[in-house]
Structure 1
Amino acid sequence: MAIKDLNLSAKATIDGFMNGINKSTIKGPGLEFSQYRSYQPGDDLRTLDWKMFARSDRYYIRESEVETNIAVRFLVDASASMNHSDGDFTKIEYARYLTACLAYLANLQGDAIGLYIFKNTELFAMVAKQDYQHLARLFFQLEQINPAGTFTKPIHYKEIFTGTQKRELLVFVTDLYQEQEEIFTLLDTLNTLRHEIVVFHVLSRNELDLDFKGYSTFEDLETGQIIQIDQAKARKDYKEKLTKYLEETRIKMLDRRIYYRTVATDEPLDQALRDFLKQRSKLRI
């Protein structure tokens, strides 16, 4: 994250992560040769290798590799609460970096990538395409995000229905800050489209531990409400309530068959990237 250029940052991270990891493939009638296997009744005769037959007097089928291409759409929460900071980084900076890395990885694997940005009364929509120029445009849009206001209201979700009719992998990066279950309303809307959904719940370390370096006055970034807190006295009760909240959230996601994972802003991305690859491999279109 010290590299401010998203393209370079994502490339450096993914190149390191992918070192030794092979591109996800399946066997099928593609262009790149994979292996031979013995002919079986019912096999397409066009895949017979006659040169192998001439050499061995046996029938062999040429199998090849086909990329498991899908459409991956990234959904980024750009409401004001994503401006919350811990040390040198805000939640939106971590979300921007995480999304850029996942998009770079998806593009590297030949997947079409798209983007939704949710902010106040706006919903920015970027169609899913598969080419490097499109990836560069996605990076540019991520770099322009300036969190403000509250989460986008359901009336603006109509753009979500304009995509492909095929099932897609939707990756939602958010701090799940909501007033009236509006984010779960969005997730329920997405579920009606029968998409595979992954939610990365971004939390800062100082809000996980209630450790704000001695501060006692706190302001809600979205409502402007100000409260006074004695951190030392409130910490135990706060952590108990936070644990309960996170468990309730996990169960809500499970009930909706949504893959859910919390990520702290001081956490390396390796496991989040592995989780993304795991979910991506489950979706076959």
Structure 2
Amino acid sequence: MIDPAFLDELARFRASLRRETSAQRQGEQRSPYAGEGLTFADYRRYAPGDDTRLIDWRLFARTEELFVKVFEAERNLTVHVLVDASGSMDYGEGDAYKFDYGAKLGLGFAYLAAEEHNDFRFSLFRERPERLDTGRSNRSELLRLVDRLNATDPSGETAFVDALDAYAATIGSKSLVIVVSDLLVDPDDVASGVAALSRNDVVLPQVLSPAELDPEPTGDTIFRDAETGATERAYFGGRRTRTYRERLDDHVAAVTERARDLRADHALIDTGEDFFDAFAALRADPDAAARR
């Protein structure tokens, strides 16, 4: 269950983050999702006196030339949060429970959007997206969302492509889209889903529990598919354990590659980590969060 007091913790986190940002030198500030109500328009070559926060360091790594991002003002920025509510998210124990952890990541982005006088939209998705918010981007709406999320039982299968494609059709202008999921689907489906959202800035926090990331050998075990309910008996240990870890590493790498090709930010999140440490890294720099 998500404690409503979590919103007070977010308030303290935001105050701490603002103090930290104010204390940094201007050239060190990094927060691509600060919600400034600006839209990327183009690049131009860096000139002395330009704000060094606007330098695209990834482009520098490829070209060895300094370019700054040029933005155009928008009336408002909308943050769209989609949280996977399929059966595979019903996994993990205590604070590491995947659905609650992922929902809190989504609430964190929604909270910061509201505090920065931007709008948010909050939805769950399985085979189709289900919008939970009522269009009011304020604290009372966040409290209502906490209640709705606490009443949600992750279940069923996910149709990643269909759900994101259907949701993309509802976005009216370029926005920030946060898709929180364990992404335990075919990497090509991840690519297709993200491609449907490609006219927006997309962030993909991939939430996996410690037991999924580094499972202990269990010997003779009955495995159950959390989405379909199908079961299979197998000996899990030795070579099979190593094979599982290798396949998971390959899967995460494939998802990362496809996200990068589509200019989306993918970050692997261990739900065993302290939530605010993970959220701070994700919000400031998704690539840094992925390397944690």
* TM-score, normalisation: structure 2: 0.69
The correspondence for 1:177, drawn from 161, 181, 184, is: 184
Q: Distance between the aligned counterparts of 1:211 and 1:246, measured in 2?
A: 19
Q: Distance between the aligned counterparts of 1:274 and 1:18, measured in 2?
A: 16
Q: Distance between the aligned counterparts of 1:88 and 1:139, measured in 2?
A: 16
**Is 1:98 aligned to residue 105 of structure 2?**
yes
1:188 Cα deviation from its structure 2 partner: 1.5
**Is 1:15 aligned to residue 12 of structure 2?**
yes
* TM-score, normalisation: structure 1: 0.70
Q: Distance between the aligned counterparts of 2:185 and 2:215, measured in 1?
A: 19
Q: 5+ unaligned residues in a row in structure 2: which ranges?
A: 22-33, 37-72, 287-292
**Is 1:201 aligned to residue 206 of structure 2?**
yes
What is the DSSP-based 3-state SS (H/G/I as helix, E as strand, rest coil) of the residue aligned with 2:5?
helix
**Is 1:236 aligned to residue 239 of structure 2?**
no
What is the DSSP-based 3-state SS (H/G/I as helix, E as strand, rest coil) of the residue aligned with 1:202?
strand
1:183 Cα deviation from its structure 2 partner: 3.9
What is the DSSP-based 3-state SS (H/G/I as helix, E as strand, rest coil) of the residue aligned with 2:18?
coil
**What is the letter of the counterpart of residue 111 of structure 1?**
N
1:89 Cα deviation from its structure 2 partner: 4.1
1:214 Cα deviation from its structure 2 partner: 5.8
**Contact 1:76-1:117 within 8 A present in 2 as well:** yes
Q: CA 1:271–1:96 in 2, change beyond 3 Å: closer, same or farther?
A: closer
* Equivalenced residues, count: 233
Q: CA 1:20–1:67 in 2, change beyond 3 Å: closer, same or farther?
A: farther
1:219 Cα deviation from its structure 2 partner: 0.9
Counterpart for residue 166 of structure 2: 158
**Larger CA Rg, structure 1 vs 2:** 1
Q: CA 1:150–1:248 in 2, change beyond 3 Å: closer, same or farther?
A: same
Cα deviations by residue, 1:173-195 (Å, 9 ceiling, x for unpaired): 1001226844433212111xx10
**What is the letter of the counterpart of residue 115 of structure 1?**
F
1:98 Cα deviation from its structure 2 partner: 1.9
Q: 5+ unaligned residues in a row in structure 1: which ranges?
A: 27-65, 280-285
Q: Distance between the aligned counterparts of 2:243 and 2:14, measured in 1?
A: 39
Cα deviations by residue, 1:44-84 (Å, 9 ceiling, x for unpaired): xxxxxxxxxxxxxxxxxxxxxx9995110101001100012
Cα deviations by residue, 1:215-246 (Å, 9 ceiling, x for unpaired): 62211111223231322442222222222221
What is the DSSP-based 3-state SS (H/G/I as helix, E as strand, rest coil) of the residue aligned with 1:175?
coil
Q: Distance between the aligned counterparts of 2:271 and 2:216, measured in 1?
A: 14
**Is 1:148 aligned to residue 155 of structure 2?**
yes
**Is 1:259 aligned to residue 256 of structure 2?**
no
Q: Distance between the aligned counterparts of 1:25 and 1:226, measured in 2?
A: 45
**What is the letter of the counterpart of residue 118 of structure 1?**
F
The answer to which of 241-250 and 126-135 deviates more is: 126-135
Q: CA 1:257–1:230 in 2, change beyond 3 Å: closer, same or farther?
A: same
**What is the letter of the counterpart of residue 158 of structure 2?**
F
Sequence identity (%):
23
What is the DSSP-based 3-state SS (H/G/I as helix, E as strand, rest coil) of the residue aligned with 1:85?
coil
Q: Distance between the aligned counterparts of 1:276 and 1:180, measured in 2?
A: 24
Cα deviations by residue, 1:86-116 (Å, 9 ceiling, x for unpaired): 4664211211222222222222222211112
| 1:1-285 correspondence to structure 2 within 5 Å | 4-16=1-13, 18-19=15-16, 21-22=18-19, 69-86=76-93, 89-119=96-126, 121-125=127-131, 126=133, 128-152=135-159, 154-155=161-162, 157-164=165-172, 166-178=173-185, 181-191=188-198, 194-211=199-216, 216-227=221-232, 228-269=234-275, 270-278=277-285
CA RMSD of aligned residues (A): 3.0
**What is the letter of the counterpart of residue 114 of structure 1?**
R
Q: Distance between the aligned counterparts of 2:278 and 2:238, measured in 1?
A: 32
Counterpart for residue 31 of structure 1: none
Q: Distance between the aligned counterparts of 1:183 and 1:236, measured in 2?
A: 25
Q: CA 1:17–1:266 in 2, change beyond 3 Å: closer, same or farther?
A: farther
